[in-house]
Amino acid sequence: MKISCLIVILLLFMPLNGLANAWSDIKTPYSVLNVKSAAAVSVTDIESLAIGSYANGCLAGADALPLAGEGYQVIRTSRNRYYGHPELIHFVEEFARKLNKSGSDDLLVADLSMPRGGNFVAGHASHQIGLDVDIWFRQAAKLQTLEQRESPLELSLVDKDSFEVNGNWQAVHGEMIRLAAESPQVARVFVNPAIKQKLCEQIQGHSASSNNNWLSKVRPWWGHTIHMHVRLSCAEGDKLCQNQNPPVSGTGCEDLSWWNQQMLQPKKSAQTSKDKKKEPKPVKVKPELCQLLLK
């Protein structure tokens, strides 16, 4: 009897990141009206609430991105990760429309967030508050079958043996990244460091008066060879949402030498990695309001 009581107590006080599967099990959005009544801040005019930070939070009042629209198709729909803050849904639709009108094929839109945000079982630490979206570099000239969209063909733009893009790079990829980064809503666009290097090379020789400050938002990060990760800033008036600090001004091109070294240095052996003790990651506790969304 005492053991049973102890188990119940532990479950009640377990951090939500220990319940990662609970977020993926939920199939419907949570009404923002229920959160407004519990929130200690004035959110009367807000249709959706991004609660917490990009890598530790949840989402109330999510919208679903239609699975196909002008200039885009959603892939891997069985994952149920095509929900987002209404501002993100609007951004994706407008972004795809602009590129389509310029002659691009359909964008392949991958992960946004789950119906109530929160932790994915695997794949990302972020995408938790409905303001992140992965857009693949491969495009589709026609509507893909369900099978093709569930198992899409990848298109890597990076030569893994050098700090360069490969022969798959096309002008449209640079245009995708630039157009996203120039949007006032966008806080960051994550790409592989070699892709950032390519963009920096393309602006060499531009006059000093050329406005290339959009490149400051294009952030080099591990992976991201087959897609770009676009992150929006918190919606105006959403006091429950935590923005990142804005990137420093300028292009950021001068910082790529460190990434060059990291990407090309010899890989550590598996045994060396095992021998080195890893520090335990600190336990993340979600904002208190996220408990409400799991009910």
Residue 5 belongs to some domain of the structure? no
Residue 11 belongs to some domain of the structure? no
Would you say residue 84 has pLDDT above 90?
yes
Residue 205 belongs to some domain of the structure? yes
- For 108, the domain range is 16-265+279-293
Q: Is 147 exposed, middle or buried (0-12, 13-18, 19+ CB in 10 A)?
A: exposed
Residue 6 belongs to some domain of the structure? no
Residue 2 belongs to some domain of the structure? no
Which residues lie closer than 8 Å to 254 by C-beta, 6 or more apart?
A: none
Find, among 244, 283, 13, the residue nearest to 129 by Cα.
244
Residue 29 belongs to some domain of the structure? yes
Work out how many domains the chain is built from and give that number. Answer: 1
Mean pLDDT of all residues in 211-216:
89
CATH number at residue 202: 3.30.1380.10
Contact 160, 248 (CB under 8 A): no
Residue 206 has a pLDDT of 62
Average pLDDT, the chain: 86
CA 99 to chain centre: 20
Residue 274 belongs to some domain of the structure? no
Residue 3 has a pLDDT of 38
Higher pLDDT, 250 or 106: 106
Residue 57 has a pLDDT of 97
- pLDDT tens column, 111-139: 999 999 999 987 788 999 999 999 999 99
Residue 10 belongs to some domain of the structure? no
